[in-house]
Structure 1
Amino acid sequence: MPLFHRTIWGWGLLVLLWGLLPTPTAHAQAAPNPGENIAFLVTFGAKADASWGDDDHTETFFFLVPKQNRQPVYIRVFDPDCGGQHDEAKFGWNTTTEFSLYGGAGTHSGPDARGTDPKGQFRSGTLLSTKTFGAEKTYDNQWYTLGPLNPLTGEFVPDFDGFVFKVIVQGKTGDDGNLYRYFLSSSPTENIPVEGGNAFTYEYSFRLSPQRRTITHLYPFVNDRVVSIKQSNFDLDGDVSLKVFSVAKNGHTATVSGDNVWTSSTHRISEKEHGLSLDLQITSLTKASNDLVFYVTDQYDVALPFFAVPLGGPPRYRYEVDVKIRK
C-alpha cells in the first residue's frame, strides 16, 4: 500500500464518527480535538500577508504512538487542498501547500524541531514522504491518508513513553489560507483511534470558531522544571478575552494582541501545577472568523507542548478552605 493513500470521506461523516466513538480515547486522536473547540488548523501560502493571521506560513504537528503498539498507524488529513469550501481565498486560488512526514532519530529530539519558528534543522529526522496539494477538487472536503506507518519508524521519546512522528505543513506558493484537520487512526479508511495516542504542537496556528462567546481551550503541559510561563499570541485583533486556568489559577487575565502584532504576558507557576496542563481559555467577542498563532515558553524560553487532549485531564481549580478553630 502506498505511503500516501487517498480516501474519500465527507465532513459530515467526520462529525458522525466523533459522536459515535468512545471518549476520551477517540477525542485524543483528533487534532484539533473537539474539547479544544478549534475550527481548523490554518497555513497560508508563502506570499500571504502576516496580518491575515499566519506569521511564518508553517505548522508542525507531532503524533504520539504508545510504545506497546506494534500495529500500523495512519495519519489522516481532512481537506488538505487549498481551494474549496473550508479554505480562505484572497485573490483567486493560487496556493500550493506541502505536507511532509518525518520519523526516526531527530524527529522530535532535534532542538529546532521543537522551536516556534521554522529555522535551522526544524526538518530533522528522516523524510518518509511528502505531498504537495493545490486546488484539486479531488481532495476538497475529503480525507487523505498518510501511511501505513510502522510505529518503530518513529522516534522513541522517553518523556512521552512512545514513538513520535512529525508532519510539517508549509505554504509554498500563493496567498490563500489552507484550513485542515488531522486524525491519528489505526485504519487507512476510517477514523479509528490508536489506543493511548495523542497529538501535540509547540506553536499553534488555527482558526477560532466564528461564534460570539465561544470558548476555545489550549492545553500547554507544565513539566516539573517550570517556574514561570510566558504566553505569546499573534494577531488576535483584540477581539477576544484570554484567561489562564489551572489547579492553582481561577481565571488569571492574560494579554491579548492586536492586528498583525505579537504580545505576551508572564505568569508564575506553583509546584501544584507541575506535571499537569494549563487551560488557556480564549473567549470570542465577535462572530468574525479569526486566524491566529499561539505559543508558550518557560523561564528559559523553551517552548512547551500543547497536547490535543491535556495530559492529566482538563485542569480544575482546587479551592482551598482556610478553617480556623476557636478555642
Structure 2
Amino acid sequence: MSSVFVLLSAVQVGAQMVPSSFEQIDYLVTFGTESHTAWGDDDNSQVFFFVIPSSFTKPIYIRVFDPSTGSNIDERNGEWNTRTNFSVYSGAGTHSEPDSRKTDPVGNYRSGHLLASKTFSNEPKYDNRWYSFGPFNPQEGEKSEEVNGHVFKIIAEGLLGDDGNLYKYFLSTQPDVNREVEGANAFTYEYSFRLPEAIHSVAHLYPFIDKDMISLTQHNFDFDKEGTVLLYSVTKNRHKAEVSGNNTWGTSKHYIEEGERNTSMDLQIVKNKTSRNDMVCFLTNQYAEAVAFFSSPIGGPPKFKYKVNVKYKTESAK
C-alpha cells in the first residue's frame, strides 16, 4: 500500500463533509444509466472511502444529503425517472481489494461486507434533507495498520433513468445532526462533481504525492473547455494541464520533482464562464495506478516555495 497511508496516521485531519470546505465544490453527482455521457458522468458510479482513527470507538453514521432525484439541486432531463442506489461496505477487502481502487466500476469493486443499502427515486420527502446510514461500529471497518484506523466504503450507483443526482456526504457521530468524527478523512480515486457556477470560481482537488511517484497523468472529462486546469505544489506554480471539451477526455502527463514527494498537490479547476457543468477527474501514476484525492489535504494545502537567488557584489580589497 502507498506511503500516503503511513502519513495519515501522523497527521490530524478533519474531513467530515464531502465535498469539504477545502475543495470549494458544491455537490457530488451521479447520473442514471440511460443518460448520455455528454451530461458529465462517464460511468454512472462513484466510490468514496472514509477512514476512522483506531482510537475512535463511538458509533458512526454516514449521512447523505438529498439522496433522491427531483429537488432543485438535481439535474433534470425531461421527466424525473432516475433511481440511485447508495450502499455501505466494511470489513476485509473493503479497500485492499484492487478492484475497489480502480476508476471504473468493474470486477469486485463492491468488495467487503455489505452493511446497508437503499435505493432512492423521485421522493420529495428526501429533497434537501439528510438520510443517515448506521449506526456502525468503527471497528467493523477494514483494519489498516498503515492509517491506524478503519476504512468504510460507500458507493453511489445510478440505475434506471437519465437525470443527474446531486448529493453530499457527512461522516457523523449522530444520526440526526452533523457532528464531526475527530481525525477522520475521506478519499476517492475518481471524482464526479458539479463545478461552482460563478465565473472565476476555483474547485480544488488534493492528491497526495507519495515517495515513489515519478510522474502523474491527469485525466478530466467533459469540462467543455470552460476554463483552465492548473497544478500547484511546493515546486509548481500555476502549471497548466490539458483541459477537456464536451464529452471528451483531456489528458496530460506531469513529472514529479524531488521536493514534491510526501506532500499534497492542488489540482485547480478555474471557470471562465457562468454555467452549470458536471465533470469527472482522476489521476494515475507511472504504473497507471489510480491516485487518491483526499477531502482534507494531507499536511494541508501546498504552499509554493519561491526560490530567491540573490547575488552580492563584493567590493574588491584595496
> How many residues get paired?
304
2:5 corresponds to: none
User: Cα deviation per residue 1:97-142 (whole Å; 9 max; x = unaligned)?
Assistant: 0001000000000001000000011111111111000011111100
Give the alignment's TM-score, normalised by structure 2. Answer: 0.93
Superposition map of 1:27-38 within 5 A:
28-38=15-25
Choose which of 61, 67, 72 in structure 2 pairs with 1:74: 61
1:109 corresponds to: 96
User: Cα deviation per residue 1:224-269 (whole Å; 9 max; x = unaligned)?
Assistant: 1101110001000000211100001011000000000112101111
- Whether contact under 8 Å (2:13, 2:184) holds in the other structure is no
1:236 corresponds to: 223
Superposition map of 1:190-229 within 5 A:
190-229=177-216
Question: Matched residues in 2 for 1:193 and 1:26: separation?
Answer: 11
CA RMSD in angstroms comes to 1.4
Kindly state the Cα deviation for residue 270 of structure 1 after the two structures are TM-superposed.
1.3
- Whether contact under 8 Å (1:202, 1:305) holds in the other structure is yes
The alpha-carbon distance between structure 1 residues 26 and 68, as it changes in their structure 2 partners (threshold 3 A), is closer
The alpha-carbon distance between structure 1 residues 64 and 27, as it changes in their structure 2 partners (threshold 3 A), is closer
- 1:63 and 2:58 matched: no
Question: Matched residues in 1 for 2:195 and 2:146: separation?
Answer: 30
2:277 corresponds to: 290
Quick check: which one's helix share is greater?
Answer: 1
Question: Matched residues in 2 for 1:315 and 1:201: separation?
Answer: 19
- Whether contact under 8 Å (2:14, 2:182) holds in the other structure is no
Percent identity, aligned pairs only, is 50
Is the partner of 2:22 in helix, strand or coil? helix
Kindly state the Cα deviation for residue 26 of structure 1 after the two structures are TM-superposed.
9.2
Q: Given residue 66 of structure 1, which amino acid in structure 2 is its aligned partner?
A: P
Q: Given residue 137 of structure 1, which amino acid in structure 2 is its aligned partner?
A: P
Specify every segment of 5 or more residues in structure 2 that has no aligned partner in the other structure, as ranges: 1-11
2:291 corresponds to: 304
Q: Given residue 146 of structure 2, which amino acid in structure 1 is its aligned partner?
A: D
- Whether contact under 8 Å (1:26, 1:192) holds in the other structure is no
Question: Matched residues in 1 for 2:178 and 2:69: separation?
Answer: 22
Structure 1 or 2, whichever has the larger Rg, is 2
User: After the TM superposition, which parts of structure 1 deviate over 4 Å for at least 4 consecutive aligned residues?
Assistant: none
1:92 corresponds to: 79
Question: Matched residues in 2 for 1:223 and 1:126: separation?
Answer: 29
- Whether contact under 8 Å (1:243, 1:280) holds in the other structure is yes
Choose which of 236, 242, 257 in structure 2 pairs with 1:270: 257
Kindly state the Cα deviation for residue 27 of structure 1 after the two structures are TM-superposed.
5.9
The farther-off stretch of 82-91 and 50-59 is 82-91
Question: Matched residues in 2 for 1:56 and 1:32: separation?
Answer: 20
- Whether contact under 8 Å (1:62, 1:164) holds in the other structure is yes
Q: Given residue 180 of structure 1, which amino acid in structure 2 is its aligned partner?
A: Y
